[in-house]
Amino acid sequence: MSSLGRISAAARQQGDTLPLVLVLDNLRSGLNVGSLFRTADAFLVEKLLLCGITVQPPHREVLKTALGSTESVAWEYYSDVLEAVQALKAQGYAIWAVEQTDTKTWLQDFQPLPEGKYALVLGNEVDGVDEALLPLCDGAIEIPQFGAKHSLNVAVAGGIVVWELAKKLLAGREK
In sequence order, which residues have a C-beta less than 8 Å from that of residue 28 and are 6 or more positions away?
53, 55, 124, 125, 126
For residue 51, what pLDDT is reported? 98
For residue 11, what pLDDT is reported? 64
User: What are 75's strand-pairing partners?
Assistant: 48
For residue 59, what pLDDT is reported? 95
In this structure, the strands spanning 74-78 and 94-98 are: unpaired
**pLDDT digit string (tens) for the chain, length 175 residues:** 556 666 666 666 667 899 999 999 999 999 999 999 999 999 999 999 999 999 999 999 999 999 999 999 999 999 999 999 999 999 999 999 999 999 999 999 999 998 999 999 999 999 999 999 999 999 999 999 999 988 999 999 999 999 999 999 998 776 5
For residue 175, what pLDDT is reported? 53
For residue 16, what pLDDT is reported? 86
Inter-residue contact 123 to 154 (CB < 8 Å): yes
In CATH terms, the superfamily for domain 2-174 is: SPOUT methyltransferase, trefoil knot domain (3.40.1280.10)
Rounded Cα–Cα distance for residues 164 and 175 (Å): 17
**Where exactly are the structural domains of the chain?**
2-174
